[in-house]
């Protein structure tokens, strides 16, 4: 039974009553039971936070162990028992092959290009590619251009979400998904003159090396529906509505057990109704932790964010736009942003390695902007190619 009490709007996210802000309070992400609360001030306007629970932001280029060997720089920054978030930079060809026995992997190519060898055959990758690698698959990366990867490891099998009434071709036609085909082995560059070939296997987070007297990419054919697959963000076409701001789950690209991965891409804004909300609505994280990786473009819903940054909003906290972002959105007609969202049902733990990458003043970014002389405590340093976090940030 749907009830309505007090001062509310007739339709969610449209014609919000003057002097109020709308907050969505919902179960199971945005697909379960819900309530829209109309408040006189947003619950993100805190003055201070005591304790460990707070919104966080990271510049991943600051993470330690970047570059060089593949297994060492796959630095984990957030994890739980069903999902691990890593970031890796690879500058040279891997001298061995790798197999993850702990889970499926999604490699999102933030920058770079090259080739990936797999049990099923090779693929050529480029910036903006998702490479989905089933658990137990042997693979090796051979970058031609320095490659930066967001690595999402899931204990459950990665699959496409159910598109329901909008049909299986929504967001992208399944035929654009690329799969590898075996090719003859022409050379053995990984051996460095040795007669052995190494495969490193990750199990329970630990590495074991297996050695073979023959080239491990010796598959000459395969059939079935389990394989490596590839799709680029250029082939994803967002679902849009001119009169209603769709929830983030409308942009879901992949799902796994207790994990949802969505892709936010350039799209038209809600220009069909002057009362329709354009920026993300305030909401409370109840059942999911939310992680957002900023890949490219101009992030219209927030200032001071650049490619390679991550925001983390844990369960138990509200988040949403600054009032300034709402006002600025009224004149905009399109977004020009590319970002990856990872929602996890089970709470994420912050890895110790992430400490050096944190923008420690991020939790203040919803506060009313103060004169520059009063905000000098924001000490975030700028990393090459990345934008600083500032007290003018807003969040998805």
Q: Which residues are annotated as a binding site for homogentisate?
A: 319
245 is annotated as an active-site residue = yes
26 forms bridges with which residues in the sheet? 34
| Sequence-distant (≥ 6) Cβ neighbours of residue 125 within 8 angstroms | 109, 112, 113, 114, 115, 116, 131, 147, 230
- H runs (alpha helix) in 102-183: none
Q: What angle do CA 216, 221, 224 make, to 5 degrees?
A: 110
Sheet with 21-26: strands ordered across: 34-39, 21-26, 282-284, 318-319
Pair 168, 174: CB distance under 8 Å: yes
3-class DSSP assignment, residue 165: helix
3-class DSSP assignment, residue 333: coil
Which DSSP state fits 158?
P
Pair 253, 177: CB distance under 8 Å: no
| Sequence-distant (≥ 6) Cβ neighbours of residue 303 within 8 angstroms | 325, 390, 392, 393, 394
The helix (run of H) or strand (run of E) holding residue 328 is helix 323-329
Binding site: what residues are annotated? Answer: 283, 289, 319
Binding site for Fe cation: what residues are annotated? Answer: 283, 289, 319
Pair 351, 310: CB distance under 8 Å: no
A 10 A CB-CB count for 69 gives 15
| CA 23/CA 365 separation, integer angstroms | 18
- CA–CA distance from 199 to each of 155, 168, 208 (Å)? 21, 37, 8
Pairing of strands 197-203, 138-154: unpaired
- How many Å from the N-terminal Cα to the C-terminal Cα in the chain? 30
Find the catalytic residue in 36, 169, 245, 313.
245
Pair 63, 322: CB distance under 8 Å: no
Question: Could you list the active site residues?
Answer: 245
């Amino acid at each position: 039974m749907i009830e309505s009490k007090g001062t509310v709007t007739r339709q969610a996210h449209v014609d919000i009553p003057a002097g109020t802000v709308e907050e969505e309070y919902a179960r199971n992400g945005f697909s379960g039971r819900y309530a829209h609360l109309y408040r006189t001030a947003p619950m993100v306007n805190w003055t201070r936070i005591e304790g460990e629970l707070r919104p966080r932001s990271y510049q991943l280029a600051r993470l330690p162990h970047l570059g060089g060997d593949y297994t060492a720089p796959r630095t984990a920054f957030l994890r739980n028992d069903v999902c691990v978030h890593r970031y890796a930079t690879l500058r040279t060809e891997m001298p061995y092959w790798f197999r993850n026995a702990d889970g499926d992997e999604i490699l999102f190519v933030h920058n770079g290009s090259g080739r990936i060898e797999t049990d099923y055959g090779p693929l050529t990758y480029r910036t903006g590619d998702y490479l989905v690698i089933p658990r137990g698959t042997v693979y090796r990366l051979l970058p031609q251009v320095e490659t930066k990867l967001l690595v999402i490891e899931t204990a459950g099998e990665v699959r496409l979400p159910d598109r329901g009434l909008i049909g299986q071709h929504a967001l992208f036609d399944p035929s654009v998904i690329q799969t590898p085909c075996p090719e003859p082995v022409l050379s053995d560059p990984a051996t460095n003159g040795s007669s052995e070939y190494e495969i490193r296997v990750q199990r329970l987070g630990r590495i074991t090396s297996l050695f073979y007297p023959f080239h491990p990419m010796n598959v000459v054919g395969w059939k079935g529906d389990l394989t490596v697959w590839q799709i680029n963000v250029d082939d994803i076409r967002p679902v849009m509505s001119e009169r209603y701001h769709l929830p983030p789950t409308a942009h879901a690209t992949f799902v796994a057990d207790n994990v949802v991965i969505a892709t936010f891409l350039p799209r038209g804004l809600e220009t069909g109704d002057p009362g329709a909300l354009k920026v993300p609505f305030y909401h409370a994280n109840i059942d999911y932790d939310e992680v957002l990786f900023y890949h490219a473009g101009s992030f219209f819903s927030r200032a001071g964010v650049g490619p390679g940054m991550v925001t983390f909003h844990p369960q138990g906290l509200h988040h949403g736009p600054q009032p300034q972002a709402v006002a600025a959105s009224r004149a905009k007609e399109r977004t020009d942003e590319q970002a990856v969202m990872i929602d996890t049902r089970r709470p994420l733990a912050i890895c110790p390695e992430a400490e050096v990458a944190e923008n420690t003043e991020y939790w203040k970014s919803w506060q009313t902007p103060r004169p520059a002389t009063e905000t000098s405590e924001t000490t975030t340093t700028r990393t090459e190619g990345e934008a600083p976090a500032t007290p003018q940030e807003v969040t998805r």
